[in-house]
Amino acid sequence: MSQTAVSPVRQRPRKSLVTALALAFFLGPIGLLYASIIGGVVMLIVCAVVLVPILLGVSINVSLYFPVWVVCVLWAGIAAHERSPARPEAPLEGDWVREAPPEAPAGAGMNNDGAPGRS
């Protein structure tokens, strides 16, 4: 009797859409870290690039910071929606998934004439 090894399936952590949107709205890229770590790091860098000249007094309009904040909220909403509890879980690329055992070929255990019996 052979045993099949069961590979563990890595579950993606579920994220609340409301929490992600609220954190991103109030905290910007730091709040985005809740929904997407890569997104949060990218937007922290973008915010630094936009905010540093503003703080140094370079003649850059402060209104440039507003679209960056809006992108953070939108990105958080999209990332959280993809990982919300309402969506069914799909395996991530590279995840180990338990596969069904292979089916027996059609006609296995049958004679060439299609009748069961001796082989």
Q: Is this prediction's pTM over 0.75?
A: no
Asked, for residue 28, whether it belongs to a domain, the answer is yes
- Give the torsion through C-alpha atoms of 31, 32, 35, 39, to 10 deg: -160
How many structural domains are present in the chain?
1
Asked, for residue 41, whether it belongs to a domain, the answer is yes
Asked, for residue 105, whether it belongs to a domain, the answer is no
Residues 42-91: pLDDT tens digits? 999 998 888 887 778 776 666 778 888 999 999 999 999 888 766 555 55
Asked, for residue 6, whether it belongs to a domain, the answer is no
Asked, for residue 60, whether it belongs to a domain, the answer is yes
Domain of 42, in residue numbers: 17-82
